[in-house]
Chain A
Amino acid sequence: MNKKIIWIIVFLAFVIVVNGTCPPDCSTKDSITTNTYSEEDAYSNPDFFKNSDPALWNWNYINGQNWKNINWKDAKVQDAINTNPNAADRYLNMSGCGSCSFYGYNNKVTFSADGMIKHQNGDTLTAINYPEGTIFEVTSTGFIVTLPHSEETFSIPSTDTITLDTKEFDINLLGKNIPPGVRVNGKIIFKNGNAYLPSGQESVIINNVMVTHYIPGAGGELNPPDSPTQIFFDGKPHNKANNYVSLNPSTGEMVMNSNYEGSTVSVTFNENNPFIYVEKDDIVIAECKHNTEIKITNNERKGNIPSLVVTATNSKKYDFWIRSGKVFIGGSNYGITTNVESINARSSPMEIKIFDYSGKSLLGDKENPQKIIVSNFNELVTIPIDQESGMTRAGFEVSSRLSIAYPTVQEIAKGKAIIIPGNPSQKEIQEIIALTPPGQIVIIGTDDPVVVRETLTMIGNMPPDVRASIKGIEILSDEEWKEREKEVYGSVGQTGGGYASSNGVITLSMSAFRENIMKHEAAHERVFSLIEQDSDFSKEWNNVAGDVYGKDLGEKMAGGNKLSLYWVDGKNEPRNGCVKAYGCNNLQEDVATTVEFIYKSPYYFRELVNPENSEYNPIYREKIDLLCSYGFVDGNIYKEVTGEERTCMGDAG
């Protein structure tokens, strides 16, 4: 009995063993059944790999021993990995990239025994070069590699061609020709160790500098160019025939170049970049449109502000622009333009030199080459190229020296203003204003050096009699403005605004802190002063303006003493001798809108006083004459608009 049982057990064991291994004739396809694929031992037989269908393989049984038995040239093997996520993941794992994943199976790629993956377009990557948890995505244009968030550094493989997508995280780059401290955020192509901004993409952030390239579309939209822009990390110039940006965060040097006509390479400097010191709310952008190279150097070690050297790389055509806050500097073969715009932006100090193809300065002339210095306070001075500093019209020094570039609020205000930060009571404001020496003003609500300096510059640029009408400037945050508006008018309207009170104080919200608005409110103050002095100004102005106030105006804004914004037909062009419908509400707004208009749009006002223009009305000329006589405008703007020399009230000489 016992012997029989033993024999049965032996027989059963034999059957199990025989069924569990590849049949002896594993060398034929027929000998491999469906069950064979689920038997791990089958995968240790080299014949299994020759005769089985890779599509049915259990990839979990692929290991270091049987890896060499796989016929990598077999299209079925390639298909299997391309179509089976488990197969692909196992492949990556076996190739040295543990817990890595693969996506994008519609784009066939070729897998090699050595872990190299080849895209149809010829791009290759080697799995072992990437850290655990990397995600590989295959697109029609190539490989997109996403590193796990735990990864802070990435060694650029010198053999691979990939697009690294940092998914909005900063990744430190390591590799040949990469200085320490290079960090990227966004998508960037690496091809055989070289970096490019992908042609199908607009921008990448490198050490807090956003590098963008685009071509303007027919409808004005921005499209990435067809050719990629190369990124270097040495901060040195490269082949001018290509579009490139070369940044070296270690030395603080950068060169950008655009050659391809119609395409643009642009850099936007964010806070904590190593090239140009940028503070919150600063806007700093440099853009090479074509045939231009801009070299940027952080000169902090030399005790100087950053320098930007622009060079036209073509004798006929070049195009670039630089913005630092409100200051705009543009250049093309048509010439160099500079402007301080009436926008909400803060600047960063920089020195700018501009040269043509032959090395001749495009600022100044051959005998007296010049350069531009932009201050931290939206100011711009043009001075001889070998000079260190210059003065603004408002009497502030603008310098290449860092020690002068960032003065304290006390240094800025000295002899010019009394600063009362915080939220003083109206009584305190009235008292301090009544005690402030002539020639000085009181700045209330802020001790921000930028706001204080800009305020003093705006005031300093005004004609003396307008300046003298202003005793104080109160600056409110937009939140404070809303509260004040509710308190004073009982309602909240726009987010920003300003008001002029007959006490000589102009109140502005931060979002309305602009030169044209300051000029508008200052004109109100000048009118208040003239009224208080029993001047004939109002009488004379009314005689010139005629009986126009309130005529042809559209609906008034809701509320008590509110004013009309448009003409009755909904338009707002100059009419009835008023530059805007708003001006035809009353004398005060007529004067203020006219002064604002003259300074903001002198070319347009020139047309209004030109008898040959369809919008001509002699009233405009009479008005600017009167504004000149009463010191609202100075001789410079008068000449710009009328073409005639005249000494206005308050003009020197």
Chain B
Amino acid sequence: MKKIRMILFLIILLILIKGTLAVSHYYDLNLVYDKGNISYEYVSVKILEEGMVINNLPGKYTAELVSFDGNILNTTKFRIPLTILYDNFDENGTIAEGGERTLDKTTQIVVLPYFDNTKEINIYDNNMIKKLTIDVSYYAKDMTKTKKEKVQETSEIAKYSEEQKKEKISNKIIVLAAAVIIAMIIIAVIIKHRNKK
């Protein structure tokens, strides 16, 4: 009986640990392109929902995540789309008008994997000329109190993500609790059955 209890406890512990670790994050970076210049509106950290992956449309621009000790943690190719080709069709599906528009100003969301030791994000153009450096040290795990304040200022979405995270964890706990109760009932039935024998 003691052995069964021990095994059950270990299973629950493992599930709980796995559930907590399963939550991964990403940087949500909103870049602004203006006649070749690149700036950014905001950067935030969000939870990567189940079934989602970081999968930017590859392009000529590069985002580079650099750690506090200067190592490159990740490079991601992405696109800043500037061209729109439009075709108007008549009721028979035949082209009746068309044209092209090239944007000189646009915004583009780029998602990047989160590392808790990222200091900054560098953005390079197609000639690998650095166009922008974004300080994200305040999202690192060892952030100071003042950096925490900065997070609060810059990211309302991050707050929302935290709420989502809490909700997600509490949902998992409810599911786990239910699973534990069911497992205990099953075990109790098995034991009772054995005792009868």
Which A residues lie at the B interface, using CB under 8 A?
Answer: 342-343, 426-427, 430-431, 433-438, 471, 485, 488-489, 493-504, 511-512, 514, 516-517, 520-521, 524, 528-529, 532-534, 557, 559-563, 565, 580, 582, 585-586, 588-589, 592-593
Contacts and interface: CB of A to CB of B under 8 A. Distances in A.
B2 interface: no
B96 interface: yes
B57 A512 contact: no
B101 interface: yes
B93 A512 contact: yes
Given A502-B82, A589-B85, 18 more contacts: A430-B108, A430-B109, A488-B86, A489-B101, A493-B88, A496-B91, A500-B84, A501-B83, A501-B85, A504-B81, A520-B87, A521-B87, A560-B101, A562-B97, A563-B100, A565-B96, A582-B95, A586-B100
B57 A471 contact: yes
A533 B79 CA distance: 10
Interface residues of B, number: 42
B59 interface: yes
Contact of A497 (B58, B59, B87): B87
B85 A500 contact: yes
Given A434-B55, A500-B84, A562 B89 contact: no
Interface of B: 26, 28, 30, 48-49, 51-60, 78-79, 81-91, 93, 95-102, 107-111
B53 A435 contact: yes
13 contacts: A426-B107, A434-B111, A494-B96, A497-B89, A498-B87, A499-B86, A512-B93, A532-B57, A533-B58, A557-B98, A562-B97, A563-B100, A586-B100
Which 6 residue pairs across A and B have the least CB separation, nearest first? A497-B88, A502-B81, A499-B86, A503-B81, A430-B109, A494-B88
Given A433-B57, A434-B57, A565 B85 contact: no
Nearest to A533: B58
B93 A342 contact: yes
Contact of B55 (A435, A498, A511, A557): A435
A595 to B, nearest CB: 13
A494 B57 contact: no
Contacts of A485: 88
Contacts of A488: 84, 86, 101
A438 to B, nearest CB: 6
A622 B107 CA distance: 39
A498 B58 CA distance: 23
Interface SS, A side: mixed
A512 B89 contact: yes
Contact of B57 (A500, A503, A516, A517): A503
A434 B98 contact: no
Contacts of B83: 501-502, 528
Contacts of B60: 532, 534
B98 A589 contact: yes
Interface centre among B28, B30, B84, B93 (most CB of A within 10 A): B93
Contacts of A436: 52-53, 55
A292 to B, nearest CB: 30
A563 B57 contact: no
B111 A501 contact: no
A516 B90 CA distance: 13
Contacts of A517: 87, 89, 93
Contact of A514 (B58, B85, B93, B101): B93
Given A434-B56, A502-B82, A563-B98, A516 B93 contact: yes
Contacts of A512: 88-89, 93
Contact of B109 (A427, A534, A562): A427
A418 B81 CA distance: 22
B89 A431 contact: no
Interface SS, B side: strand
A427 B57 CA distance: 15
A254 B34 CA distance: 66
Interface centre among A511, A532, A533, A588 (most CB of B within 10 A): A532
A588 B93 contact: no
A504 B83 CA distance: 11
Contacts of B95: 520, 565, 580, 582, 593
Contacts of B89: 494, 496-498, 511-512, 514, 517
A378 to B, nearest CB: 15
Given A498-B86, A498-B87, A501-B83, A563 B99 contact: yes
Nearest to A585: B98
Given A489-B101, A511-B91, A561-B100, A435 B111 contact: yes
B97 A434 contact: no
A164 B89 CA distance: 45
B96 A493 contact: yes
Contact of A562 (B26, B98, B102): B98
A559 B89 CA distance: 17
B187 to A, nearest CB: 35
B109 A560 contact: no
A502 B103 CA distance: 11
B66 to A, nearest CB: 21
A434 B86 contact: no
Contacts of B79: 502-504, 532
Nearest to B86: A499
Nearest to B83: A502
A488 B60 CA distance: 25
Contacts of A434: 54-57, 78, 109-111
A557 B51 contact: no
A466 to B, nearest CB: 14
A43 to B, nearest CB: 68
Contacts of A426: 107
A486 to B, nearest CB: 13
A585 B85 CA distance: 12
Contacts of A563: 97-100
Contacts of B111: 431, 434-435
A431 B93 contact: no
A493 B100 contact: no
B96 A489 contact: no
B101 A561 contact: yes
A497 B97 CA distance: 9
A469 to B, nearest CB: 9
Interface centre among A436, A559, A563 (most CB of B within 10 A): A563
A502 B96 CA distance: 22
A429 to B, nearest CB: 9
Contacts of B102: 561
B133 to A, nearest CB: 21
A186 B101 CA distance: 53
Nearest to B95: A582
Contacts of B58: 529, 532-533
A499 B52 contact: no
Contacts of A582: 95, 98
A471 B55 CA distance: 10
Contacts of B85: 499-501, 521, 524, 588-589, 592
A476 to B, nearest CB: 13
Contacts of B53: 435-438
Contact of A560 (B57, B91, B99): B99
A426 B108 CA distance: 9
A283 B33 CA distance: 47
A511 B85 CA distance: 18
Contacts of B109: 427, 430-431, 434
A233 to B, nearest CB: 39
A3 B25 CA distance: 130
A563 B111 CA distance: 36
A588 to B, nearest CB: 6
A437 B48 CA distance: 12
Contacts of A586: 100
